[in-house]
Amino acid sequence: MLHHLSIAAQDPQRVARVLAEVMGGTLIPFPSHHDSFFALALDELGTGIEVYPAGTQLRPGFEDKGAQFVDTKEESLFVATHCALSVTLELEQIQEIAWREGWRIQVCDRGTYFQVIELWLENTTLIELLPPSLARRYQNFMSPENLKRMLGGSEQDKARELTAVSR
């Protein structure tokens, strides 16, 4: 299970506010790093997304210290980071939020297995949203029983199945 994720944004407060809204939660300042915010789902799992200013890097600490924040000017418009997030809002409500913010949104098929709503935060960072109407198919597909069945064949069968999912 994913408890929290961190991403970078040009406007961390705005992005965290929208994430909190689609999760049905709240937004708080993130105390560990300046100008950062934490969108909390307020669920029993402690689900949250930390949003740092663009250019922030996490680097290993020295000796006995944990990860360190480093502010850089090394920014990229797009990143490989994304997540799938179950939310309580349905498509129409999410669309209204995306349109209000001017961000790209679309419903996408992931093969014949399930659908997700792609919400592009600041039109650069992908968050896949699974409202209740879409979450069950995703959860059924990703169930341990189904994955074991699907991945239990030959290497060619596995590759074929995974290729179909990625389309």
In the numeric block, which tokens belong to residue 32?
Answer: 């560990």
Q: Tell me the per-residue pLDDT of 70-128, one tens digit each, with 9 for 90 and over.
A: 776 666 666 767 889 999 999 999 999 999 999 999 998 888 889 999 999 998 888 89
The reported pTM is 0.73
147 band by pLDDT with thresholds 50, 70 and 90: confident
Residue 125 and residue 130: Cα distance in Å, rounded? 16
Q: Tell me the per-residue pLDDT of 25-71, one tens digit each, with 9 for 90 and over.
A: 999 998 888 999 999 999 988 899 999 998 887 777 677 766 577 77
- Note the pLDDT of residue 166: 44
167 band by pLDDT with thresholds 50, 70 and 90: very low
If you average pLDDT over residues 136-155, what whole number do you get? 81
> Could you tell me what percentage of the chain is helix, strand and coil, using 3-state DSSP and rounding each to the nearest 5?
30, 30, 35
- Note the pLDDT of residue 29: 94
Strands (E), 17-161: 26-29, 37-40, 48-53, 56-59, 68-71, 83-86, 105-110, 114-121, 125-130
CA proximity to 8, closest of 48, 58, 62: 58
- Note the pLDDT of residue 123: 87
The C-alpha angle 105, 96, 87, rounded to 5 degrees, equals: 70
Q: Residue 117 burial by CB count (10 A; 0-12/13-18/19+): exposed, middle or buried? A: buried
CA proximity to 54, closest of 14, 104, 3: 14
